[in-house]
Amino acid sequence: MSERTTLEDTKRWLAHLRHAGANLFCEATRPAVTPLDPLEADHMMSDEVALWERVQRAMGELASKRRRCLAAMEDSAAGTRSDVPVEALRGRLLAYMPDLELYWQLNEGSPIVDKFNVPAWDMWVGVSMPQDTEFDHENPDRALVAWVPSWYIADAEEALIGAPLGELAWIEEPHFGRIRYWAAGHGLLE
């Protein structure tokens, strides 16, 4: 599965949810285990390898479920590609870095992140995770990357305020060069 296909699928899926009047965090595409399940959060944060393996598994499961939902939509008259609004083609990439989630800062009421600041799985496009580096707080290179469509940009800005440790950030930020490089290499930059 290519990242470009994942970005295109994400855009089409988000346009469908908007057209249908549905909220994010769609149960049809929910991964069995999200990256930071609160029941295991303390354990996961102490085991960095397990955390990132979990993030990658969740991303793979989500992409498969989303692709199946899109295929089912295309088989119905209501889900054709012509229904996708042009707005769905504009957005920004948001990085979520659980390595920076040193304590649980609850973010209540955001439509695009859960209470632990994890972006809605409906927006996930990939996982930047080099195998050969340790996490660098000054120049992070590991992140769950989400594509935020134009109609959720203001909500994302509010979520950023609710994430004071920097665990959420636009990838255009100067110190996210490594994540931008990964995103460009996977066809995610527009």
- All residues at 6 or more sequence positions from 103 whose CB lies less than 8 Å from its CB, including other chains: 165
Specify the pLDDT at position 87. Answer: 53
What was the pLDDT predicted at 39?
A: 43
Average pLDDT, the chain: 78
**Residues ≥6 apart with Cβ < 8 Å to 65:** 28, 29, 30, 31
Look at residue 118 in the predicted model and tell me its pLDDT.
87
Q: Which residues, at least 6 apart from 86, have a Cβ–Cβ distance to it below 8 Å?
A: none
For the stretch 102-144, pLDDT in tens is: 555 566 778 999 877 889 999 999 998 766 556 555 557 788 9
| Res 24: pLDDT | 94
Q: Is 46 or 14 the better-scoring residue by pLDDT? A: 14
pLDDT at 100: 60
- Asked if 142 and 103 touch (Cβ cutoff 8 Å), the reply is no
Q: 144 forms bridges with which residues in the sheet? A: 96, 127
What pLDDT, on the 0 to 100 scale, is given for residue 134?
60
Query: Strand, helix or coil at 107?
Result: coil
Q: What is the pLDDT of residue 155?
A: 93
Q: Where are the domains of the chain?
A: 3-185
Q: What is the pLDDT of residues 39-90, one digit of tens each?
A: 455 544 556 777 778 888 899 999 999 999 988 887 775 544 545 554 557 8
Residues of the chain above pLDDT 90, percent: 28
Highest mean pLDDT: which range of 17-21, 50-54, 175-179: 17-21
Q: What is each CA distance from 73 to 3, 82, 132, 148, in whole angstroms?
A: 21, 12, 40, 22
* Whole-prediction pTM: 0.83
